[in-house]
Amino acid sequence: MKEADALARRVAEAMLAREGTGPTWRIEIEEAREGYARVRMRVRADMLNGHAIAHGGMIFALADTAFAYACNSRDENTVAQQASIAFLAPAHLGETLVAEAQESARTGKSGAYRVSVRTDAGRAIAEFTGLSRAVGGSVLDRN
């Protein structure tokens, strides 16, 4: 494994261990490498909206989590500035969603990331785009 990819994995695991949301939502990291992360989450009853489908907020949250791991992958503290999401199809109770984040471009302190959310059977659920900003400092050394 490339050193940069091993670092990305450590950062993602540290973030997941530290955050309140990941364990609550049972986020699992499938893969994390430089500028890339793929995570999964199962849709539970407490994630459904008033139409009995997965709440848009939870689909966004999963995508945003993958985005966060990808944009922090070089162990430089980086935050989301902006994100956009298109909801393509509803997700249902019990389905497992996979969010795959890929870096599109970085310029200066800004970065653009594309995240696809699909069911683990490959059905398209949402497309997310995130704009990040590096704010300085290490993720791993922040204890």
Q: Look up residue 3 and give its two tokens.
A: 């050193």
Phi (first) and psi of residue 65, to 5 degrees: -65, -45
Nearer to a copy of itself, 30 or 44 (CB): 44
CB 87 within 8 Å of CB 98: no
Measured from the CB atom, is 33 or 69 closer to a copy of itself?
A: 69
Least distance to a copy of itself, CB of residue 136, Å? 12
- For binding to a copy of itself (CB under 8 A), which residues are involved? 14-16, 18-22, 24, 44-52, 55-58, 60-62, 64-65, 68, 72, 77, 79-90, 104-108, 110, 112, 114, 116, 124, 127, 129, 131, 139
From the list 37, 34, 92, 26, the residue with the least C-alpha distance to 64 is 37
DSSP reduced 3-state for 125: strand
Least CB distance from residue 101 to a copy of itself, whole Å? 13
Q: How far is the CB of 100 from a copy of itself (least distance, A)?
A: 11
To the nearest whole angstrom, how small is the minimum distance from the Cβ of residue 1 to a copy of itself? 22
Return the axis-axis angle of helices 3-18 and 56-71, rounded to nearest 10°.
140
